[in-house]
Amino acid sequence: MSEVNKLKTAKIIFILSILTAIFWCLGQFVDVYYFAVVGAIFEILWLPMIAMLFVLPIFSLVLWAKEKFNPKSLHLYSFLILLATGLFLMLRN
């Protein structure tokens, strides 16, 4: 895999990690069912977001290991964001 493709993959995973974290944090702090349309969108996105919450950390950890555990890698930060999001969701309730 070329360096450009590795960087593009890392950026995509990082952005998806941030979007997943924002989705779950907004779901905890905002009443998404106040407006019916927002609630419907939340319900549609719920299953893909929970799948990403479980799959992306594993995927980013594997890719981080392939990069020989480089501390400057975006895969590390993606993993940490998703780990913090998962812990937040477990400890919030």
Nearest residue to 38 (alpha-carbon basis) of 50, 26, 49: 26
pLDDT digits (tens, 9 = 90+) for 16-50: 999 999 999 999 999 999 999 999 999 999 999 99
What value does the mean pLDDT take over residues 52-81? 96
Specify the pLDDT at position 41: 96
